[in-house]
Structure 1
Amino acid sequence: MELSVFNIKGEDTGRKIVLDDAVFGIEPNDHAIYLDVKQYLANQRQGTHKSKERSEISGSTRKLIRQKGGGGARRGDINSPVLVGGGRVFGPTPRDYSFKLNKKLKGLARRSALTHKAAAGEIIVVENFDFEAPKTKSFLALAQALKVADQKALFVSEKISDNVALSARNVQTARLSNAFQLNTYAVLNCKQLVLTESAVAVINEQFKA
Protein backbone atom coordinates (compact mmCIF):
# COMPACT_ATOMS: atom_id res chain seq x y z
CA MET A 1 0.00 0.00 0.00
CA GLU A 2 1.24 3.49 -0.88
CA LEU A 3 0.28 6.69 0.91
CA SER A 4 1.03 10.32 0.15
CA VAL A 5 3.43 12.17 2.43
CA PHE A 6 2.23 15.51 3.81
CA ASN A 7 4.25 18.35 5.28
CA ILE A 8 3.46 20.11 8.56
CA LYS A 9 1.25 22.59 6.66
CA GLY A 10 -0.97 19.75 5.47
CA GLU A 11 0.23 20.03 1.88
CA ASP A 12 0.95 17.00 -0.28
CA THR A 13 4.71 16.85 -0.90
CA GLY A 14 4.22 14.72 -4.00
CA ARG A 15 6.19 11.89 -2.45
CA LYS A 16 4.79 8.43 -1.76
CA ILE A 17 5.73 6.00 0.98
CA VAL A 18 5.15 2.26 1.01
CA LEU A 19 3.37 0.56 3.91
CA ASP A 20 4.66 -3.01 3.95
CA ASP A 21 1.84 -5.51 3.28
CA ALA A 22 3.51 -7.88 5.76
CA VAL A 23 2.58 -5.37 8.48
CA PHE A 24 -0.33 -3.31 7.13
CA GLY A 25 -1.97 -5.83 4.80
CA ILE A 26 -2.29 -9.16 6.59
CA GLU A 27 -5.38 -11.22 7.38
CA PRO A 28 -6.27 -9.65 10.76
CA ASN A 29 -6.76 -11.85 13.79
CA ASP A 30 -9.35 -10.22 16.05
CA HIS A 31 -8.88 -12.73 18.88
CA ALA A 32 -5.18 -11.87 19.06
CA ILE A 33 -6.17 -8.20 19.30
CA TYR A 34 -8.60 -9.03 22.11
CA LEU A 35 -5.96 -10.90 24.11
CA ASP A 36 -3.33 -8.18 23.67
CA VAL A 37 -5.71 -5.39 24.68
CA LYS A 38 -6.92 -7.47 27.63
CA GLN A 39 -3.34 -7.94 28.80
CA TYR A 40 -2.53 -4.25 28.38
CA LEU A 41 -5.53 -3.16 30.44
CA ALA A 42 -4.86 -5.83 33.06
CA ASN A 43 -1.31 -4.57 33.45
CA GLN A 44 -2.62 -1.07 34.18
CA ARG A 45 -4.48 -2.31 37.26
CA GLN A 46 -2.73 -1.70 40.56
CA GLY A 47 -4.52 -4.55 42.29
CA THR A 48 -4.32 -2.80 45.68
CA HIS A 49 -8.02 -3.22 46.50
CA LYS A 50 -8.64 -4.51 50.03
CA SER A 51 -11.50 -4.89 52.48
CA LYS A 52 -11.24 -6.04 56.07
CA GLU A 53 -12.34 -9.51 57.02
CA ARG A 54 -13.88 -10.43 60.34
CA SER A 55 -10.53 -11.10 62.01
CA GLU A 56 -9.16 -7.70 60.95
CA ILE A 57 -11.92 -5.54 62.41
CA SER A 58 -10.97 -3.59 65.54
CA GLY A 59 -13.77 -4.55 67.91
CA SER A 60 -14.58 -6.56 70.97
CA THR A 61 -14.65 -10.34 70.73
CA ARG A 62 -17.26 -10.61 73.48
CA LYS A 63 -20.24 -12.73 72.52
CA LEU A 64 -23.22 -10.37 72.33
CA ILE A 65 -26.10 -12.75 72.98
CA ARG A 66 -26.47 -16.33 74.08
CA GLN A 67 -26.26 -19.12 71.54
CA LYS A 68 -29.88 -20.28 71.77
CA GLY A 69 -33.27 -18.91 72.71
CA GLY A 70 -32.86 -15.38 71.34
CA GLY A 71 -34.94 -15.94 68.24
CA GLY A 72 -32.22 -14.50 65.96
CA ALA A 73 -29.05 -15.47 64.18
CA ARG A 74 -26.09 -16.89 66.06
CA ARG A 75 -23.92 -13.95 65.08
CA GLY A 76 -21.25 -14.08 67.76
CA ASP A 77 -19.24 -10.90 68.37
CA ILE A 78 -19.67 -7.37 67.09
CA ASN A 79 -17.27 -8.02 64.19
CA SER A 80 -19.76 -10.38 62.55
CA PRO A 81 -20.41 -9.72 58.84
CA VAL A 82 -24.16 -9.65 59.44
CA LEU A 83 -23.82 -6.51 61.61
CA VAL A 84 -23.21 -2.95 60.41
CA GLY A 85 -19.50 -2.22 60.77
CA GLY A 86 -18.58 -5.88 60.76
CA GLY A 87 -16.11 -7.63 58.50
CA ARG A 88 -16.82 -8.39 54.86
CA VAL A 89 -17.23 -11.93 53.59
CA PHE A 90 -15.10 -12.87 50.57
CA GLY A 91 -14.07 -9.25 50.01
CA PRO A 92 -11.38 -8.12 47.56
CA THR A 93 -7.75 -8.78 48.44
CA PRO A 94 -4.56 -7.44 46.80
CA ARG A 95 -3.63 -9.40 43.69
CA ASP A 96 -1.61 -9.18 40.50
CA TYR A 97 -3.79 -9.04 37.37
CA SER A 98 -0.97 -9.35 34.84
CA PHE A 99 -0.62 -12.43 32.67
CA LYS A 100 1.79 -13.62 29.99
CA LEU A 101 1.32 -13.57 26.24
CA ASN A 102 3.68 -15.02 23.66
CA LYS A 103 5.77 -12.53 21.70
CA LYS A 104 4.51 -13.89 18.36
CA LEU A 105 0.88 -13.42 19.39
CA LYS A 106 1.54 -9.82 20.47
CA GLY A 107 3.22 -9.15 17.14
CA LEU A 108 0.25 -10.61 15.30
CA ALA A 109 -2.09 -8.39 17.33
CA ARG A 110 -0.11 -5.24 16.45
CA ARG A 111 -0.06 -6.09 12.75
CA SER A 112 -3.79 -6.88 12.84
CA ALA A 113 -4.55 -3.52 14.45
CA LEU A 114 -2.42 -1.66 11.90
CA THR A 115 -4.11 -3.59 9.09
CA HIS A 116 -7.54 -2.50 10.35
CA LYS A 117 -6.37 1.12 10.43
CA ALA A 118 -4.94 0.92 6.93
CA ALA A 119 -8.10 -0.72 5.56
CA ALA A 120 -10.25 1.99 7.14
CA GLY A 121 -8.11 4.78 5.65
CA GLU A 122 -7.25 6.10 9.10
CA ILE A 123 -3.49 6.45 8.60
CA ILE A 124 -1.80 9.75 7.70
CA VAL A 125 1.90 10.02 6.88
CA VAL A 126 3.67 13.30 7.60
CA GLU A 127 7.28 14.24 7.01
CA ASN A 128 9.60 14.25 10.02
CA PHE A 129 9.08 17.42 12.05
CA ASP A 130 10.25 19.25 15.16
CA PHE A 131 9.49 22.59 16.79
CA GLU A 132 11.97 25.34 17.60
CA ALA A 133 10.35 25.87 20.98
CA PRO A 134 7.67 24.10 23.03
CA LYS A 135 4.40 25.77 22.03
CA THR A 136 0.93 24.26 22.18
CA LYS A 137 -0.07 26.63 19.38
CA SER A 138 2.49 25.00 17.06
CA PHE A 139 1.13 21.52 17.71
CA LEU A 140 -2.48 22.67 17.28
CA ALA A 141 -1.54 24.25 13.96
CA LEU A 142 -0.08 20.92 12.84
CA ALA A 143 -3.19 19.01 13.93
CA GLN A 144 -5.48 21.47 12.17
CA ALA A 145 -3.40 21.32 8.98
CA LEU A 146 -3.72 17.52 8.97
CA LYS A 147 -7.45 17.82 9.79
CA VAL A 148 -7.20 15.77 12.99
CA ALA A 149 -7.62 18.58 15.53
CA ASP A 150 -11.18 17.52 16.44
CA GLN A 151 -10.41 13.79 16.52
CA LYS A 152 -8.48 11.55 18.87
CA ALA A 153 -5.14 11.16 17.10
CA LEU A 154 -2.01 9.18 17.86
CA PHE A 155 1.22 10.74 16.58
CA VAL A 156 3.99 8.17 16.12
CA SER A 157 7.60 9.08 15.48
CA GLU A 158 10.93 7.28 15.61
CA LYS A 159 12.07 9.71 18.28
CA ILE A 160 9.94 12.27 20.10
CA SER A 161 11.79 15.47 20.91
CA ASP A 162 11.22 17.36 24.14
CA ASN A 163 9.77 20.32 22.27
CA VAL A 164 7.17 18.15 20.55
CA ALA A 165 6.31 16.32 23.79
CA LEU A 166 5.86 19.58 25.71
CA SER A 167 3.84 21.11 22.87
CA ALA A 168 1.39 18.20 22.78
CA ARG A 169 0.88 17.52 26.48
CA ASN A 170 -1.97 20.04 26.88
CA VAL A 171 -3.82 18.87 23.76
CA GLN A 172 -6.46 16.49 25.11
CA THR A 173 -7.22 14.80 21.78
CA ALA A 174 -3.58 14.03 20.94
CA ARG A 175 -1.30 11.23 22.11
CA LEU A 176 2.34 10.60 21.29
CA SER A 177 4.13 7.29 20.91
CA ASN A 178 7.60 6.10 20.07
CA ALA A 179 7.52 3.83 17.01
CA PHE A 180 9.49 1.13 18.83
CA GLN A 181 6.94 1.08 21.69
CA LEU A 182 3.76 1.19 19.64
CA ASN A 183 1.17 -1.17 21.11
CA THR A 184 -2.16 -2.59 19.99
CA TYR A 185 -4.27 -0.67 22.51
CA ALA A 186 -2.78 2.69 21.50
CA VAL A 187 -3.44 1.99 17.82
CA LEU A 188 -7.08 1.06 18.41
CA ASN A 189 -7.71 3.80 20.95
CA CYS A 190 -7.44 6.57 18.37
CA LYS A 191 -9.44 7.69 15.37
CA GLN A 192 -6.46 8.77 13.26
CA LEU A 193 -2.96 7.31 13.25
CA VAL A 194 -0.39 9.93 12.21
CA LEU A 195 2.98 8.40 11.29
CA THR A 196 6.16 10.24 10.46
CA GLU A 197 8.29 8.94 7.59
CA SER A 198 10.90 7.62 10.00
CA ALA A 199 8.18 5.89 12.05
CA VAL A 200 6.93 4.07 8.93
CA ALA A 201 10.47 2.83 8.26
CA VAL A 202 10.79 1.52 11.82
CA ILE A 203 7.37 -0.18 11.79
CA ASN A 204 7.98 -1.78 8.39
CA GLU A 205 11.27 -3.19 9.66
CA GLN A 206 10.51 -4.05 13.30
CA PHE A 207 6.95 -5.37 13.15
CA LYS A 208 7.41 -8.03 10.47
CA ALA A 209 6.57 -11.59 11.50
Structure 2
Amino acid sequence: MKVKISSFDDKAKASDVELNDEVFGLDPRADILHRVVTWQLEKRRATARGTRERSDVARTGKKFGRQKGGGTARHGDRRAPIFVGGGKAHGARVRDFNPSLNKKIRALGLKMALSTHAKAGSLVVMDSLAVAENKTKTLLSDWAKLGFGKTALVIDGDTVDTSFALAAGNVHTINVLPAVGANVYDIIKADTLVLTRAAVEKLEARFNG
Protein backbone atom coordinates (compact mmCIF):
# COMPACT_ATOMS: atom_id res chain seq x y z
CA MET A 1 0.00 0.00 0.00
CA LYS A 2 1.41 3.38 -1.03
CA VAL A 3 0.71 6.56 0.93
CA LYS A 4 1.72 10.07 -0.03
CA ILE A 5 4.13 11.70 2.41
CA SER A 6 2.93 15.03 3.79
CA SER A 7 5.11 17.87 5.05
CA PHE A 8 4.85 21.17 6.87
CA ASP A 9 7.23 22.54 4.23
CA ASP A 10 5.33 23.64 1.12
CA LYS A 11 8.50 23.34 -0.97
CA ALA A 12 9.22 19.74 0.04
CA LYS A 13 9.54 17.28 -2.84
CA ALA A 14 6.53 14.98 -3.21
CA SER A 15 7.17 11.33 -2.47
CA ASP A 16 5.41 8.14 -1.40
CA VAL A 17 6.04 5.51 1.24
CA GLU A 18 5.24 1.81 0.90
CA LEU A 19 3.31 0.43 3.88
CA ASN A 20 3.36 -3.24 4.81
CA ASP A 21 -0.02 -4.79 3.98
CA GLU A 22 0.37 -7.26 6.86
CA VAL A 23 0.31 -4.31 9.26
CA PHE A 24 -1.74 -1.62 7.49
CA GLY A 25 -3.81 -3.66 5.03
CA LEU A 26 -5.90 -5.98 7.22
CA ASP A 27 -9.69 -6.05 7.26
CA PRO A 28 -10.72 -4.69 10.69
CA ARG A 29 -12.92 -6.88 12.87
CA ALA A 30 -15.13 -5.18 15.44
CA ASP A 31 -14.98 -8.14 17.84
CA ILE A 32 -11.16 -8.10 17.99
CA LEU A 33 -11.01 -4.33 18.45
CA HIS A 34 -13.67 -4.52 21.15
CA ARG A 35 -11.78 -7.21 23.08
CA VAL A 36 -8.53 -5.25 23.01
CA VAL A 37 -10.12 -1.91 23.98
CA THR A 38 -12.04 -3.56 26.83
CA TRP A 39 -8.84 -5.22 28.07
CA GLN A 40 -6.92 -1.94 27.83
CA LEU A 41 -9.51 0.07 29.76
CA GLU A 42 -9.84 -2.64 32.42
CA LYS A 43 -6.06 -2.57 32.93
CA ARG A 44 -6.30 1.16 33.65
CA ARG A 45 -8.71 0.69 36.55
CA ALA A 46 -7.35 0.90 40.06
CA THR A 47 -8.98 -1.13 42.79
CA ALA A 48 -10.23 0.39 46.05
CA ARG A 49 -8.29 -0.05 49.27
CA GLY A 50 -9.97 -2.82 51.18
CA THR A 51 -11.72 -1.98 54.46
CA ARG A 52 -12.20 -4.26 57.45
CA GLU A 53 -15.70 -5.56 57.98
CA ARG A 54 -17.09 -7.39 61.02
CA SER A 55 -15.34 -10.63 60.23
CA ASP A 56 -11.98 -8.87 59.77
CA VAL A 57 -11.86 -6.91 63.04
CA ALA A 58 -9.89 -8.45 65.93
CA ARG A 59 -12.37 -7.96 68.77
CA THR A 60 -14.12 -10.36 71.05
CA GLY A 61 -17.33 -11.99 69.97
CA LYS A 62 -18.44 -12.61 73.54
CA LYS A 63 -21.74 -11.14 74.61
CA PHE A 64 -20.71 -8.27 76.85
CA GLY A 65 -23.94 -7.51 78.70
CA ARG A 66 -27.10 -9.04 80.00
CA GLN A 67 -29.97 -9.61 77.62
CA LYS A 68 -32.33 -7.78 79.97
CA GLY A 69 -32.05 -5.40 82.87
CA GLY A 70 -28.92 -3.59 81.77
CA GLY A 71 -30.68 -0.48 80.61
CA THR A 72 -29.03 -0.68 77.16
CA ALA A 73 -29.75 -2.31 73.87
CA ARG A 74 -29.17 -6.06 73.53
CA HIS A 75 -25.69 -6.13 71.95
CA GLY A 76 -23.80 -9.35 71.61
CA ASP A 77 -20.73 -8.40 69.56
CA ARG A 78 -18.21 -5.57 69.89
CA ARG A 79 -17.34 -5.98 66.20
CA ALA A 80 -20.67 -4.47 65.13
CA PRO A 81 -20.41 -1.37 62.87
CA ILE A 82 -22.15 0.87 65.43
CA PHE A 83 -19.22 0.64 67.88
CA VAL A 84 -15.96 2.57 67.73
CA GLY A 85 -13.36 0.10 66.49
CA GLY A 86 -15.99 -2.13 64.95
CA GLY A 87 -16.02 -3.38 61.36
CA LYS A 88 -17.31 -1.17 58.58
CA ALA A 89 -20.70 -2.02 57.17
CA HIS A 90 -20.66 -2.76 53.42
CA GLY A 91 -17.06 -1.56 53.12
CA ALA A 92 -15.00 -1.35 49.95
CA ARG A 93 -13.42 -4.60 48.85
CA VAL A 94 -10.30 -5.28 46.79
CA ARG A 95 -11.42 -6.31 43.29
CA ASP A 96 -9.53 -7.86 40.42
CA PHE A 97 -9.25 -5.46 37.45
CA ASN A 98 -6.37 -7.30 35.84
CA PRO A 99 -7.83 -9.35 32.99
CA SER A 100 -5.63 -11.31 30.66
CA LEU A 101 -5.59 -11.25 26.87
CA ASN A 102 -3.48 -13.31 24.52
CA LYS A 103 -0.50 -11.42 23.05
CA LYS A 104 -1.48 -12.50 19.54
CA ILE A 105 -4.92 -10.90 19.96
CA ARG A 106 -3.34 -7.69 21.27
CA ALA A 107 -0.97 -7.52 18.32
CA LEU A 108 -3.78 -8.29 15.88
CA GLY A 109 -5.94 -5.57 17.44
CA LEU A 110 -3.18 -2.98 16.98
CA LYS A 111 -2.70 -3.99 13.34
CA MET A 112 -6.45 -3.69 12.74
CA ALA A 113 -6.57 -0.27 14.41
CA LEU A 114 -3.82 0.95 12.07
CA SER A 115 -5.58 -0.66 9.11
CA THR A 116 -8.84 1.08 10.05
CA HIS A 117 -7.27 4.50 9.45
CA ALA A 118 -5.42 3.32 6.35
CA LYS A 119 -8.63 2.05 4.74
CA ALA A 120 -10.62 5.12 5.78
CA GLY A 121 -8.05 7.48 4.28
CA SER A 122 -7.41 9.15 7.64
CA LEU A 123 -3.82 7.90 7.89
CA VAL A 124 -1.15 10.55 7.25
CA VAL A 125 2.59 9.94 7.00
CA MET A 126 4.86 12.92 7.70
CA ASP A 127 8.49 13.32 6.70
CA SER A 128 9.22 15.40 9.81
CA LEU A 129 7.44 16.95 12.78
CA ALA A 130 9.86 19.84 13.29
CA VAL A 131 8.11 23.13 14.12
CA ALA A 132 9.91 26.44 13.67
CA GLU A 133 10.83 28.07 17.01
CA ASN A 134 8.64 25.55 18.89
CA LYS A 135 5.69 27.91 18.39
CA THR A 136 2.10 26.72 18.85
CA LYS A 137 0.89 29.42 16.47
CA THR A 138 3.20 28.12 13.74
CA LEU A 139 2.03 24.55 14.32
CA LEU A 140 -1.65 25.49 14.12
CA SER A 141 -1.06 27.38 10.89
CA ASP A 142 0.74 24.42 9.28
CA TRP A 143 -1.82 22.01 10.73
CA ALA A 144 -4.73 23.90 9.13
CA LYS A 145 -3.07 23.77 5.70
CA LEU A 146 -2.91 19.98 5.80
CA GLY A 147 -6.61 19.71 6.62
CA PHE A 148 -6.48 17.09 9.36
CA GLY A 149 -9.57 15.95 11.30
CA LYS A 150 -10.88 17.49 14.49
CA THR A 151 -8.70 15.29 16.71
CA ALA A 152 -5.40 13.68 15.82
CA LEU A 153 -2.99 11.17 17.30
CA VAL A 154 0.63 11.83 16.31
CA ILE A 155 3.08 8.94 16.68
CA ASP A 156 6.81 9.49 16.26
CA GLY A 157 9.82 7.14 16.50
CA ASP A 158 11.79 6.32 19.65
CA THR A 159 11.13 9.81 21.02
CA VAL A 160 8.77 12.57 19.97
CA ASP A 161 10.36 15.53 18.19
CA THR A 162 11.03 18.11 20.91
CA SER A 163 9.86 21.14 18.91
CA PHE A 164 6.57 19.43 18.02
CA ALA A 165 5.99 18.23 21.59
CA LEU A 166 6.48 21.77 22.92
CA ALA A 167 4.30 23.35 20.26
CA ALA A 168 1.49 20.80 20.67
CA GLY A 169 1.58 20.86 24.47
CA ASN A 170 -1.27 23.39 24.71
CA VAL A 171 -3.40 21.92 21.90
CA HIS A 172 -5.95 19.56 23.44
CA THR A 173 -7.02 18.13 20.09
CA ILE A 174 -3.54 16.73 19.36
CA ASN A 175 -2.27 13.72 21.28
CA VAL A 176 1.41 12.83 20.91
CA LEU A 177 3.03 9.44 21.57
CA PRO A 178 6.31 7.67 20.81
CA ALA A 179 6.07 4.49 18.74
CA VAL A 180 6.40 2.29 21.81
CA GLY A 181 3.23 3.86 23.26
CA ALA A 182 1.01 3.10 20.25
CA ASN A 183 -2.21 1.52 21.49
CA VAL A 184 -5.60 0.54 20.08
CA TYR A 185 -7.76 2.82 22.20
CA ASP A 186 -5.95 6.07 21.38
CA ILE A 187 -5.64 5.14 17.69
CA ILE A 188 -9.34 4.38 17.26
CA LYS A 189 -10.44 7.43 19.25
CA ALA A 190 -8.59 9.89 16.99
CA ASP A 191 -10.14 11.22 13.78
CA THR A 192 -6.72 11.31 12.09
CA LEU A 193 -3.68 9.14 12.67
CA VAL A 194 -0.38 10.87 11.88
CA LEU A 195 2.77 8.78 11.63
CA THR A 196 6.32 9.82 10.88
CA ARG A 197 8.64 7.74 8.72
CA ALA A 198 10.40 6.63 11.89
CA ALA A 199 7.08 5.57 13.43
CA VAL A 200 6.21 3.47 10.38
CA GLU A 201 9.58 1.72 10.55
CA LYS A 202 9.25 1.10 14.29
CA LEU A 203 5.72 -0.27 14.04
CA GLU A 204 6.54 -2.57 11.15
CA ALA A 205 9.69 -3.79 12.93
CA ARG A 206 7.64 -4.36 16.08
CA PHE A 207 5.46 -6.93 14.33
CA ASN A 208 8.12 -8.43 12.11
CA GLY A 209 10.55 -8.83 14.98
Does TM, normalized by the shorter one, top 0.5? yes
Aligned to 2:16: 16
Conserved in 1, the CA contact under 8 Å of 2:124 and 2:194?
yes
Partner amino acid, structure 1, of 2:183: N
Q: 1:75 to 1:202 in 2, by over 3 A?
A: same
* Structure 1 unmatched runs, 5+: 69-73
Identity of aligned residues (%): 31
- Alignment map for 1:177-188 (pairs within 5 Å): 177-188=177-188
Q: Displacement, 1:81?
A: 7.2
Structure 1 residue matching 2:195: 3-state secondary structure: strand
CA separation in 1, counterparts of 2:94 and 2:133? Answer: 45
Question: Would you say how many aligned residue pairs link Structure 1 and Structure 2?
Answer: 202
- Alignment map for 1:140-151 (pairs within 5 Å): 140-148=140-148, 151=150
Q: Deviations over 1:35-72 (max 9, x none)?
A: 22122111211212556635689xxx9x9xx989xxxx
Aligned to 1:100: 100
- Alignment map for 1:30-179 (pairs within 5 Å): 30-48=30-48, 50=50, 53-54=53-54, 87-89=88-90, 91-148=91-148, 151-158=150-157, 159-179=159-179
Aligned to 2:5: 5
* Structure 2 unmatched runs, 5+: 69-73
Partner amino acid, structure 1, of 2:131: F
CA separation in 2, counterparts of 1:165 and 1:56? Answer: 50
Measured on the aligned residues, the alpha-carbon RMSD in Å equals 3.6
CA separation in 1, counterparts of 2:116 and 2:67? Answer: 66
Q: Deviations over 1:10-30 (max 9, x none)?
A: 678421111211111123333
Q: Displacement, 1:183?
A: 1.1
Structure 1 residue matching 2:4: 3-state secondary structure: strand
Partner amino acid, structure 1, of 2:155: V
Question: Normalising to structure 1: TM-score of the pair?
Answer: 0.76
Structure 2 residue matching 1:4: 3-state secondary structure: strand
Question: Normalising to structure 2: TM-score of the pair?
Answer: 0.76
Q: 1:145 to 1:50 in 2, by over 3 A?
A: farther
Greater RCO, 1 or 2 (C-alpha within 8 Å, sep 6+): 1
CA separation in 2, counterparts of 1:185 and 1:10? Answer: 32
